[in-house]
Structure 1
């Protein structure tokens, strides 16, 4: 089994120093963290912070004119051993015409597939699609600015992350009251997983970091759970 793009769909993002690390995770460099949370280098640094969602990292790509549904590792979703990825593949097929318009040859859009509960339960009704798109890559595998996603949201009404902040450096503590407003269908007893920081500079994405709350329990609703007992965030399964 090969990867259609010969690369991973999505790599890892380093953590801020006060974030909960997962297996194989690592912290961002201190100098970069200062830019994100204390002081920008100059007027060209723009700090953008969005809500982080808890699901399965997936992507949709166009290669040789074909629309592909991908898992995080870069394999086609329909080859995955997990039901949620087969559901994702079916969803992409049903929305193929949309992504044929959105994507140019060699490009891909990546997001969090939220159809199955992992560490957070979402209540996704018919008004919401079970995916939030958080990044877009051009044919050179370069990440495009957040403005590009926002443009797609306005044109095609695709779901993108809730914007928590855009501007100067800002701390996690300053953003927590905004984060905990709990949008996008999170059930009342749950809290958002965390937030993703990015620095954009002169129209390009410089680097990213993430913050995950210390009490977050990744995979508590799916790890070690039998297939028939999985929790789905929507009734449309």
Structure 2
């Protein structure tokens, strides 16, 4: 091969290499200039405009979970007599009920039902007032308060109609099943007693006057 031919061959090879380099470099640069974590532009709006139905936000209910119970409400009655008649005929089943029924029986048996309920209200109000003992039995047996108490105890009562009524009235009072006109009373006395009470009278029922 002559010197001229060699020179032509070298020039041709050099030209080929230069062309290849020029063709590949721009493609590499464009690839580097693209964001590495680029996502298709249409995906972002598609996620942003997804609408959910109202039910989709409601948490699933586990069938094993018990259904929420409705709050208990006190039955309504047309009259106090109806409320008393609706009570169980069972004997007083707790000390609290026995003490309250005893106070009603000894202090107001034979009185109108509203008068018996008012006596019960006085005992209950005292137990909640902070000015008297904090339980119904302690209020009833407090020395110097109720004359029927003997030796710090409520005397035993034979089963009779008046006592059954007293137990029923006590149940009504404890359940707050009827509003008493003496609902705020803390004291009472018989009409025949000439008591000079420096207190506010709240009711006069049957043979008793009630004060707060």
Higher relative contact order (CA 8 A, sep 6+): 1
Query: Same fold by TM (over 0.5)?
Result: no
TM-score by length of 2: 0.20
Normalized per residue, the structure richer in helix is 2
Please report the TM-score for the alignment, with normalisation by the length of structure 1: 0.18
